[in-house]
Every structure is written in C-alpha cells, then in structure tokens.
Structure 1
Amino acid sequence: MGRVAGVLKWLTAFGVALAGAGSSAQQYQPPQHTQGPPFYGNITPEQGAMLADMGLSSERDRTARWTLAEHRRLDHTLAAVQPQRKGVVDAYVVAVALDSDPVFGREAREAGKVLARRYDAAGRTIVLAGTDGSGDSTLPRGSPDNIAAALARVAEVMDPKEDVLILYTTSHGAPMGIVYNDGDQGYGMISPQRLWTMLGALGIERRMVLVSACFSGVFVPLLSNVDSVVITASSDDRTSFGCQADSDWTFFGDALINHALRKPQDIAAAGAEAVRLIGEWETRGQLKPSQPQVSIGANAGVWLAALDRRRPKEVTAPVGKPAVSLLDAK
C-alpha cells in the first residue's frame, strides 16, 4: 500500500523502497527495510510469480535463540485455540500483518479484536504480527510458514461442514500477491494460487478472506466460491492507500474494520460502506481510485446468517488516528 513509483519493478525495489519508521515521539526503533530481498534481485516478474506460487520465502541472519523463541511463540499461540462447538457455527479468526512496518502490526491486532467480537470468536482467534511500534512484538510473526501453520491448526479444530474461517491479511502488495517483509531478515510472497492451494488442501471452503494490500483484487477470482466472501482493498491493477509506518490504519482497514464492521450490519452493507468511505477519501485526496472488490458467494448467506444472529447489537467507536488524516498532512 506504499505507492512506490514503478511498482512493476518491485522485485528489485520493495525491500529498500518501503522503509518504515516509528513515530518521532517513540524511543523504540522498529525494524527498518534497508536491504533488498536476497533472491528476488535478478529474476523476471514471471519467475517471481512462480516462486510466489511455490510459497518460497527466505530468512537471513536469524540466531538460533531467535528461532527457538519464535517456535515457542507460535506453539503457545496455536495451542490456545479452542475446538469447535458441535451444533454451533463457530468462526475462527486469523489476523495477519505480513510486513514489520508498525501500521500493519497495529491494524492486524485491532482487526483481530473487532472480528473476534463481531463473530463470537473469543478463544478462536490467532493474531500473527510484528511490532506495533512500542516495542518488539511478543506475537508470532506474520510469515508464510506461520500462516500455513495457523490455517492448519484451524482446520484441525474446526468442523469444515459447520464452521468458518475469517482471514484478514494486511501488508504491501504486488501484482502477484501479498508481500512478506520482516525488516531485513524475512522476505517472501503469498500468491492467490498459494493461498487457494493451502485452503483447498485443508478443506476450508466456508471462509471470509479480507485482503488489505495493493493489487489485492488478484485474490478474488481463485478465492471466490459459492461458500465464500472475498473483500479486497483494490482491484488487480490498482494500488491502495494509507500504509505509512506511523499510521494506525490503512484506508481499507480503517473503512472496513474500524468503521463498517463495528456496526450491526450484514457483510454486504459493511462492504458497501467501506467502498463508499474509501472512495470519498480518495476523491478528497485526488488519488486514483483503488476500486475495492466485494465478492459474496450464493451459499455464504447460510453461515453468515448464523454468525449474524450472535453479533453484538451495540456499535463500538473507531480507535486510532483516522487513515484519512494522512491527507491533512499533505
């Protein structure tokens, strides 16, 4: 969502172009993006897309102690996920920040809270994220491998014929998928093909997939089915906005999570509200429309109705600095 000039050259640029910085008032220094990815530098976009489909990622300069601590964080998080309740349509929320810029960490954390409250997913929510800008993260990071493990854990404890996955991802995006970039240590990509393959192998058909990233419309064709909801921050050929590292929200996260889904309205109305708000903000900022996408399968209403019957009736207030305030700083 950082609007990088010449985005089609992201394979050689994204690791150094999307530099993150915390608030000037903070003493803590979040991880910085100062080096390019170790294996994407000299390949074509077509080769990059193939690697994304394969789920290739890379970690460098990780110590053995860090690796052990990360395994323990992930094990602790996954072990805490509760099994489904027979006869109840349970929602399992997985909220993920794939980039270590604090805006994504803050957004994923709050998205996990909002979605868990709305969909009665207390004890069935996994948040994978880097720093929120205040200090090193105590959560497992949002890496491709950790996402795969989280989805496998959900598949292990849910009843796929009864229950639902709600997956929220936020990061920078590229024409072939959503980017994983953890400071100068972690690099990779999750493509639509890769995510579709994982979900299919796990048997998770009843799902709500919410993707906050540039070009995220690339996920709509493959991830959509009669039992699914897919909402993305942009079409497959447009950027989205609001990913500055010192922000609290991207435009999409603020509109959909922080506003629309805090209200007792169905997902179609929430999606429409988010599209309207984003459009108003983009018009105000004279930005090229991102064209968010909303796809609701013909049979998704069955599980949506079951979840909506238990949703809270009270509206909660938005939190954090509004994403549109970025326009005031121009």
Structure 2
Amino acid sequence: MRWWGKVARTASVLAVSLAVTASATGQSTTPYKAPEHVGGWPGLVSGTNEAEATASLDLGPELERDRSPKWLLDEQRKLDKALAALGPQKPGVVDAYVVVVGLDSDPIFGREAREAGKVLSRRYNAAGRTIVLAGTDGSGPSALPNGSPRNLGVALARVAELMDKKQDVLVLYTAGHGAKVGLAYHDADDGFGIIPPARMARMFDELGIENRLLILSACFSGIFVPTLSSDTTALFTAASADRTSFGCQSDRDWTFYGDAMINNALRQPVPLAKAGENALALIAKWEAMSSDIIPSQPQISIGSKVSTWLAPLEAKMPKTATPLVGRPAITIFDGK
C-alpha cells in the first residue's frame, strides 16, 4: 500500500498549496454551500397568511406565465444588444448613466419611456450611456428589451460595472402603475411583479450605486422617499405615499407627471430643483381643472451632497430647450 501513502501525501501537499494560493489571491477557502429551501413556498396566493404574503411582497416577487421560448430568446438578444451598447465612463469626468424602464405594457408607458430616455440623455450628456427598457409604443411590437424587474436589475448591474461609482451618477426614470407596496410590473397577461422600496434599496446597496437621480412616475410612489432618500440622492415622485397620480389611460401620450416633469420641466435649461418645482406647479394647475381630482402631492427630496455630482453635470447642460412632443396630458379633459 506504499503507493496509497504516496498519493495521500501528494494530495495533502496539493491541498495546502491550493489553500495558500487562494489566500494569497483573496479567494475564499470556505467550502461551497448549495442554496437551501429554508422558508418554503412563499405566500403569494389568496388564503395564505397575511404577514407571510406581505413579507413576500417586500422581496420583490416577479411572475412570468407561459412565455414562448422564442419570445424568451428574442428578449435575451435584445437585452444583450442594449447592454453591449453602453459605453465606458470617462476618467476624471462626472458621467451620467440613464436607465429608463416602462413597467407596464399599456402603450402610454412605452411612449413616455422612449421620450424620457431622449430628454434625460440630452440633458445629462449621456449619449451612448442610456438604456431604455419598455414595451410597445402602440405602433407595433417593441424593438426594445422588455421593461421588467429582472431586466431593470440586469441593466443596473451592468451600469454599476461601467461607472466610476465615486463620481458618476445613475439617472433612473420609471413609468408605470403603482400600488401601496411598490412599483407594479404588468405586461399584458404574461408578466406580473412588484418592486418595493426595500428591494430597490437593496439593489442599489449591493451594486454600490450612491449617486442617484431617481424619478419615479407611479401612483403612491411617495412610499419610496423614506427608504431611498440619502445625502447623495435626488428623488422625485409623482405622488405622495397615499395618493394616486393621473393621466395613465392607455391611448394617451403622457401621464400628468411625465408631461410636467419630462416633457415640460426637464426640457428647459434650468437647475434640477427649479425643474422639479416647475413640474409641481404645472401638476397643481392641471389637477385644479377638475373637481373630481384629489391632488396627487408629488414629492421632492434632494440630499445635502447632491451638488457634488449635479453641479458638474449641469455645467455641461444644453443652453436651449427642446420642443414639447405628443398630446398634452390635460387634453384628456376635453376629449382630444
């Protein structure tokens, strides 16, 4: 059995050598542990424990039903192409990465997302560093990657790889419906999900994205303010935590908030805070046109250190406005 002893000694030396190498390179020497089923099937169906269902929603569930394999492959190719088109940051320069997601298949959100991408990319000099995830604009099948929570997470992860997180900025615009638990993902009868504040915060924390301009256009989006506000975050929401926003009919070009904030305020060469105030004034004026509307109360939260990244971006901001696009949101009052 001398041969076995020699093999055993050789294996021991090899194991020690590998451990030393792993330690020197910073690799973990802890043995791999496969994922475990700890909590059981989550409570996402009617009749389950309410506390369990609430906890499940806080984790950001997403459900895709009976998707065609060809659709899945096509989606993956579109996403890969869009991610590959994102350019690197420029050393020593504060760059913005614009991510726009339309989380609902109603064409209004596809139209709003596409135009928001154009406006934000121009304003913050983000050509080549902008990605738009959205469904159809109503004219035909979407050529863009789908606006889903999964695709949003992947896009954010890619941006985090490319950006210099100490100086660069994420500009995120979300368009869609909202619920009192978070942003709602609803793609026809095939895709469903929720992005709650805690889930979005965990994504940012994991990816190390601290410099953020977040514009959340959805009902009840004010619930994100306590969780996502920070010294380096500028946060704008279409409504308070307990109010709805307006103008989300499928055949429209803009929601009230999208029209006020993107189509009007951010097209103008004014500072971000002033643009936010202008949007709030417009929305208040429009909502006052109908006695049936309970004011949406959009929220603004701008951190004390936002100027460190915002000032360099605004120094390069275009000096001229661009023309408004689409039917104004308030034409809904006269049926136009």
TM range (shorter): 0.7 to 0.9
Q: CA deviation at 1:54?
A: 1.4
Check if 1:52 corresponds to 2:54. Answer: no
Measured after TM superposition, the shift of residue 55 of structure 1 is: 2.1
Query: Is 274-283 or 60-69 further displaced after alignment?
Result: 60-69
Q: Deviations over 1:174-221 (max 9, x none)?
A: 001000000000000000000000001100000011000000000111
Identity %: 57
Measured against aligned partners, the alpha-carbon deviations of 1:253-310 in whole angstroms (never above 9, x if no partner) come to 0000000000011111000001000000100022100000000000001111100011
**Pair 1:305-2:314 in alignment:** no
Corresponding residue for 1:323?
329
Amino acid paired to 1:321: R
Q: Which residue of 1 aligns with 2:302?
A: 296
CA contact under 8 A between 1:73 and 1:139: conserved in structure 2? Answer: yes
- Map of 2:121 onto structure 1: 116
Task: Determine the C-alpha separation between the residues in 1 that align with 2:317 and 2:101.
Answer: 22
Pick from 206, 212, 221: which aligns with 1:216?
221
Paired AA for residue 314 in structure 2: D
Q: Deviations over 1:94-139 (max 9, x none)?
A: 0000000000000000000000000000000010000000001011
Aligned-partner Cα distance in 2 for 1:268–1:296: 8
Q: Return the TM-score normalized by structure 2.
A: 0.85
Q: How far is 1:328 from its partner? A: 1.5
Residue correspondences, number: 293
Per-residue CA distance 1:234-258 (angstroms, 9 max, x = gap): 0000000010000001100000000
Question: Partner amino acid for 1:298?
Answer: S
Q: Compared with structure 1, are the counterparts of its residues 206 and 187 closer, same or farther at alpha carbon in structure 2 (3 Å cutoff)?
A: same
Question: Greater CA radius of gyration, 1 or 2?
Answer: 2
The 5-angstrom pairing of residues 32-43 of structure 1 reads 39-42=44-47
The one-letter code sitting in structure 2 at the alignment partner of 1:145 is R
Contact 2:44 2:53 in 1 (8 A): no
Residue 163 of structure 2 corresponds to residue 164 of structure 1: no
The amino acid of 1:295's aligned partner reads S
Report the counterpart of residue 3 of structure 2 in structure 1. Answer: none
Distance 1:210 1:43, change over 3 A: farther
Matching residue of 2:263: 258
- Specify the SS of the correspondent of 1:74: helix
Q: Find out whether 1:234 has 2:239 as its counterpart.
A: yes
Distance of 2:84 and 2:91 partners within structure 1: 20
Match of 1:87 among 89, 92, 98: 92
Higher relative contact order (CA 8 A, sep 6+): 1
Alpha carbons 1:89, 1:306 under 8 Å: kept: yes
Task: Identify the residue that residue 33 of structure 1 maps to in structure 2.
Answer: none
Q: What code does the residue aligned with 2:202 have?
A: T
CA RMSD of aligned residues (A): 1.5
**Offset, 1:65:** 1.1
Please say if 1:144 is aligned against 2:149. yes
Within 2, Cα distance between the matches of 1:151 and 1:225?
Answer: 18
Instruction: Return the match for 1:201 from 180, 203, 206.
Output: 206
Distance 2:64 2:53 in 1: 17
Identify unmatched segments of 5+ residues in structure 1.
Answer: 1-37
Give TM-score scaled by structure 1 length. Answer: 0.86
- In the alignment, the residues of structure 2 paired with residue 90 and residue 109 of structure 1 have an alpha-carbon distance, to the nearest angstrom, of 21
| Cα distance change of structure 1 residues 60 and 39 upon mapping to structure 2, 3 Å threshold | farther
Given the superposition, is the C-alpha separation of residues 256 and 46 from structure 1 closer, same or farther in structure 2, using an over 3 Å criterion?
Answer: farther
